[in-house]
Amino acid sequence: MVSLNLDTAIKGIEEQVCPYCHSSLFYDVQADSIYVSCSCGNFNVSTFRDKYNGSLLLYYLNNSDEGSISGENLKQLQNVLYRNKRVKRELFSIKLKQQIL
């Protein structure tokens, strides 16, 4: 597995392709987390959200042992993730289901 830095992760999410194998990224959006990965295994971004206000609290790159809580980095990552149409649609669907229940 290659080392993934935040700038490369953000660029990949913005372009919606893996910067290593150039295939489409997979998104798994949950109420408290968003995972972005690629089938080649070299691109994995795990983010954890506050379920109530939606802000990102922590992120991991490529299944590293240490996550980051750097405010500026979280803000950059949150901005690019929340601009993604698929992420927006799935988060809206989750909020709607919570209101119905």
Asked if residues 27 and 34 have their Cβ atoms less than 8 Å apart, the reply is yes
Q: What confidence tens digit (pLDDT) does each residue in 46-95 have?
A: 999 998 888 999 999 997 878 899 899 999 999 999 999 999 999 999 88
Say what the pLDDT of residue 52 is. 86
Write the pLDDT tens digit of every residue in 3-27: 889 999 999 999 999 999 999 999 9
Per DSSP, helices labelled H in 1-101 are: 6-15, 71-83, 85-100
Give the model's pLDDT for residue 10: 96
In this prediction the pTM is 0.88
